[in-house]
Structures are given as C-alpha cells and as structure tokens.
Amino acid sequence: MSEYPEPSTDAKVLVFGPVDRDAVGMPLERRRGTTTGFLACALTLVVAAGCATEEVGDPSPESPTLTTAPPTPPPEQGGAPGHPLAGFDEVVAAFDGSTGLAIAPVGGGQSLVAGDVQTGPAWATIDVAVSLARERGEPDPTDPRVVEEVLREYGDPATVVGAPLEQTEWSLPAQAQFASFVPCDERSGPALAGPETPEWGLGAVEGAQFSSGTGTDPGAGYSIRQFGVVPSGTGQLAVALAVTSASDAATARDQATRLAEWIAARAAAMGLPPGC
C-alpha cells in the first residue's frame, strides 16, 4: 500500500476520535451506549496516496481520547507538492505575527495542521456552542458544563470550557473537528453564522459558513480566530484559523483574508467525499 506524501515541516497530523457520526447531536447520556471503531484515512486530495487505516478501540465513556498519527520522517523544507497544506510557509512568510491553520473533511476524519500557533482563547467563536445549547433547549446555554457537553457531542473530546467562556483555550485541530460535524446535524441551522458576518478572513470566501472572534493577546497583539466550513470540489472542508499581528487590527484582518483565500483555493481542488 502506498505511503502518504510527506508533509511540510510545519504540518502535523492529529486524529481526534473515535466519533460516531450517527450520534452527532444526540444527547450525551444516549450516546454513551454507542460503540464504534474509528478508521483514520488521509484526505483524499493527497496525490497517489493510499489509505492507511488503523482501528481504534472504544475509549472509556468518561475519558475521550486523543490519538496522534504515527510520526513520519522529517521531510525537506516546504514538503511534498502533493500535501494538502504544501505552500503554507510561502503564504505566511511575510505575515506580521503568528499564524495557524487546521482543516478536516466535513463528516469527520484526520485534522491536518500548519503554523506556529495551534491554540489560544476562543474569543467569540465559542458562541457557536452556546447557540447549539440554546437550540436544544438548555435552561442556561452559557453554563460552561453545558457548553463543554456540546463540544463533546460534536467531536471535540478534550477541550475544557472555562469562565469567562471567551477565554477558553480551544485548539485549532479540535475546532476544525467540531466544525466538521456541525453541518451533519439538521438542528444546527445557522449556528456557524454569527450575528455579524465580517467581509474579511473567511468572509471573503464565497459560500463559507463561519464564526469569528477577536481579542488582544498580551505580548502578541491583535488576535483573530475564525472557524467554519468552505466549499470544496465535491463537498465541504472544515477550517479553523488563527492570526495575530503585532501591528494593528487592519493588518491582522488582511492576513486572515489572504490565508482564507489560499485555503479556499486549495479546497476547491480537493476530491473530498460528500461528508454527511
């Protein structure tokens, strides 16, 4: 069976699972009786790549697990041309500040990540989980325990929700996994669309559904978090990005736009499965 093309030095593969897609949106107490094996397969756009699968056994219902794909030998700088995130370094080379990106196919699968920042405050993007809690009739949708349960239902096995909610450390891979399952629940409705939709970042991508959050990181500058789904050639791609700029908000927004437009162009050429 063929090997995956080697990723760039800034691209790592994380597998979040197992997640039973038939249980997405199901109340947690009902999902605890379900069992599933999880087959992790690389994104199908990787040129000439085989599908290396490894079945992961059921974890303890109370302790969702995070497993990582087997390490690959360090590639040359820039990575193989066929890798989904090849070219990321060139896109962000002139950026002012830190940048991170995570992608996953809608419906669940491996998260591919790149960049020098992979976690940070969720800012207002956590409102998506609050909105989903409100949709299911929770008396207090802003209760951190309720919000955390929503994250578990939609494929995020490990994020710990704190107070204030906006300060919750939400990693990009976990956020991409969460975004990959939200469209699979018919009850989610417009959960990914915030009350205000900016025209920068993912807002510059036609057909994108996303949420944005901004804030200031001490010592880092203006910070942007966005996540959602963008159209691909045959389906949808879940995307989570983070951009910080030591200069100002306008610079950070411009960089987020350039990054979003780049990944949208990559997604348009992807042969992803239909997803949900």
Which is higher by pLDDT, 23 or 9? 23
Separation between Cα atoms, residue 259 and residue 239, nearest integer Å = 11
Rg (CA), the chain: 18
Q: How confident is the model at residue 194 (pLDDT cuts 50, 70, 90)?
A: low
Lowest mean per-residue pLDDT among 69-73, 101-105, 127-131, 190-194: 69-73
Percent of the chain residues past pLDDT 70, beyond the cut: 69
- The answer to whether residue 4 scores a pLDDT higher than 60 is no
The H-assigned helical ranges of the chain are: 28-31, 88-92, 127-135, 144-153, 172-181, 249-268
pTM of the model: 0.74
Prior bond to 164 cis, omega within 30? yes
Highest mean pLDDT among 49-58, 82-91, 171-180 belongs to 171-180
Q: How confident is the model at residue 7 (pLDDT cuts 50, 70, 90)?
A: very low
Q: How confident is the model at residue 79 (pLDDT cuts 50, 70, 90)?
A: very low
Domain locations in the chain as residue ranges = 11-71+83-268
Once rounded to an integer, what is the mean pLDDT over residues 25-39? 35
Separation between Cα atoms, residue 23 and residue 42, nearest integer Å = 22
Once rounded to an integer, what is the mean pLDDT over residues 11-26? 44
Once rounded to an integer, what is the mean pLDDT over residues 163-170? 97
Lowest mean per-residue pLDDT among 63-67, 134-138, 185-189: 63-67
Once rounded to an integer, what is the mean pLDDT over residues 171-194? 88
Count of H helices and E strands in the chain? 6, 9
Q: How confident is the model at residue 188 (pLDDT cuts 50, 70, 90)?
A: confident
Architecture of domain 11-71+83-268: 3-Layer(aba) Sandwich (3.40)
**Residue 274 confidence (pLDDT):** 77
Both structure tokens of 66: 């995070």
Once rounded to an integer, what is the mean pLDDT over residues 152-178? 96
Q: How confident is the model at residue 276 (pLDDT cuts 50, 70, 90)?
A: confident
Separation between Cα atoms, residue 108 and residue 130, nearest integer Å = 21
- Closest to 148 (Cα-Cα) out of 136, 137, 134, 162: 162
Q: How confident is the model at residue 200 (pLDDT cuts 50, 70, 90)?
A: very high
Dihedral sign computed on CA atoms, order 245, 82, 104, 156? negative
**Residue 258 confidence (pLDDT):** 98
Residues in the chain: 276
Separation between Cα atoms, residue 36 and residue 183, nearest integer Å = 21
Lowest mean per-residue pLDDT among 70-84, 109-123, 149-163, 251-265: 70-84
Map 54-93 to HEC letters: CEECCCCCCCCCEEECCCCCCCCCCCCCCCCCCCHHHHHC
Q: How confident is the model at residue 192 (pLDDT cuts 50, 70, 90)?
A: confident
